[in-house]
Structure 1
Amino acid sequence: MPIRIRGPDPSSFLIEMVYSIQGRGGGYRLLNESILPPITFTESEAIAIFFASQSLRYFGALPFGDQAKSALDKFYHNLPSDAREQINRLQNKVAIWSTHRSMSVSCLIVLLEAIMKKSAVTIGYNSGKNVLNTREIQPIGLYSDRGYWYCPAYCFTRQAYRLFRADRIMTVSMNDNVSYPEDVDSKTVFNWDVDKLEGQEKTLFCAYLTQKGKRKLEENGRSKDFIESLDDGGGVIRMHIPANKLEFYTDMI
């Protein structure tokens, strides 16, 4: 059963789990689990953690399955009553929105498992032309942008790094028959395409933005750092892009 113990600060607390042992030498013992040690939170920290975790509820799918909701429920129900009261008052007053996109949760779970276990996967990928291509890939990571989940990966089929939109992955299964390249594992979601872009011819992409256009582009994590605000509320975007991607960026604008 859970018990709450006040920490050294009167406004802080920690959560432990205890269990009982019957018979001679019995009594109460702390649950000997290596999952999580006791952690001390102030009530303000607990409220911040709750709402940060609750923001995940607005995603159409999560790679954590139901565990995120389960963990949040446990966290909430083991808070002191005064902290729960503050959260209850804020429940319909604070929200962190995310664009809702429907997709397969099981697909995200398998991709996340492959990343954790350093395993390749075989996917059936819809390239957008209603053609299902079979690929063997090594997932590098997962990130979300405007509600969509993306998986940068090394594609053994194409022998190159590729970015896959997870909602277009129709089937996915672990593949232990493909050797795991350590240089791929050293990549992250922040630098997976750096080497690929460095060798390409670049061109300067520049466009003036209306107020609405500026707001929409600022939602794109890769573009916002290149936007300069103007006095009329609009902006201008200047960035060096691969010359062969000019059509892509033009369509985006």
Structure 2
Amino acid sequence: MQKSQRLIQLMMMINAKKSFTVKELADEFGLSVRTLSRDLDELSGLGVPIYSVQGRGGGYRLLQERMLPPISFTESEATAIFFACQSLSYFSTLPFGDGAATALHKFYHYLPADTKEQIDRLKDRVMIHSPFRAMSSEILQTLMEAIMVRQVVTIFYRSSTGSSQRHIQPIGLYASSGYWYCPAYCFTQEDIRQFRVDRIIAASLNESITIREDIASQTLRDIPETGDGEMKPFEVQLTSKGV
């Protein structure tokens, strides 16, 4: 077996395991412990997040997130994915941390040279623009984590009437005109409310409040649109500067 094939199989194998030892992998591959140790060092150098567990019964684990197996894309799929991810760069804040930027960098780095050339010709000629709105990425990430782990969030929210503490159960996150919004069940108001994320001063997970299962089963598609849809006349007078 070629070394490159062995490294791919090794990556897929440890991805499927919660923990492992070098001896276990060496036995499965029929190789020496020294050879497997070198392979693990090489995978670590390539960015596979492996860390060692010290002490009796120790071994190795994957750090936090597991690696996904290799995926093949057609040229048109690669172009579509690149610009879909690049469109996120026009948002001032994202709930994914640096994940979108690093994923796009890895994706672009491993594209064939001719595909890169075609994408380079489209850069700054195809974009999905979003107005720049400053807000806290930590708060966005806390709200997204609450949705993922099914927990209540305690927030301090700034509105036209002042700041107040709320306990909310987020239903989802969506962006519009550069702003991020979080429809959520408000335990204070005992109803679903919409919160603009840039008006949230602080947010933290709250394990002391039990979530409502009926709210947890809802998605953004279940949230009714605000307003009655009635058309109303609206007149504006502008100065020459305003025009």
Match for 2:206: what amino acid?
N
Say if 1:54 and 1:107 are closer, same or farther in 2 by CA, change over 3 A.
same
* Residues 47-95 of structure 1, C-alpha deviations (whole Å, 9 max, x = no match): 1100110000001111111111011111111111111121122212211
Q: State the match for 1:139 in structure 2.
A: 170
- Larger strand proportion, structure 1 or 2? 1
1:168 and 2:176 matched: no
Mapped partners of 2:4, 2:147: distance in 1: 36
Q: State the match for 1:54 in structure 2.
A: 86
Match for 2:219: what amino acid?
T
Match for 1:118: what amino acid?
R
Aligned pairs (5 A) from 1:88-107: 88-107=120-139
Say if 1:4 and 1:59 are closer, same or farther in 2 by CA, change over 3 A.
farther
1:158 and 2:170 matched: no
1:128, distance to aligned residue in structure 2 (A): 2.8
- Larger helix proportion, structure 1 or 2? 2
1:135, distance to aligned residue in structure 2 (A): 0.5
Mapped partners of 2:118, 2:232: distance in 1: 46
Query: For 2:208, which of 166, 169, 177 is the aligned residue?
Result: 177
Provide the secondary structure at the position in 1 that maps to 2:221. coil
Q: State the match for 2:54 in structure 1.
A: none
User: Are the equivalent residues in 2 in contact too, given 1:76–1:84 (CA < 8 A)?
Assistant: yes
Mapped partners of 1:170, 1:4: distance in 2: 50
1:204, distance to aligned residue in structure 2 (A): 6.6
1:166, distance to aligned residue in structure 2 (A): 0.5
Say if 1:43 and 1:119 are closer, same or farther in 2 by CA, change over 3 A.
same
Aligned pairs (5 A) from 1:62-81: 62-81=94-113
Question: What number of residue pairs does the alignment pair up?
Answer: 190
Aligned pairs (5 A) from 1:225-244: none
Provide the secondary structure at the position in 2 that maps to 1:124. strand
After TM superposition, the runs of 4+ consecutive aligned structure 1 residues lying more than 2 A away are 16-19, 21-35, 206-210
Provide the secondary structure at the position in 1 that maps to 2:175. strand
Q: State the match for 2:157 in structure 1.
A: 125
Provide the secondary structure at the position in 2 that maps to 1:40. coil
User: Are the equivalent residues in 2 in contact too, given 1:4–1:80 (CA < 8 A)?
Assistant: no
- Extract unaligned runs of 5+ from structure 1: 6-15, 211-253
User: Are the equivalent residues in 2 in contact too, given 1:161–1:193 (CA < 8 A)?
Assistant: no
Mapped partners of 1:56, 1:165: distance in 2: 19
Query: For 1:205, which of 230, 234, 237 is the aligned residue?
Result: 230
1:172, distance to aligned residue in structure 2 (A): 0.3
Query: For 1:86, which of 118, 128, 132 is the aligned residue?
Result: 118
Say if 1:203 and 1:38 are closer, same or farther in 2 by CA, change over 3 A.
closer
1:17, distance to aligned residue in structure 2 (A): 8.4
Say if 1:209 and 1:86 are closer, same or farther in 2 by CA, change over 3 A.
farther
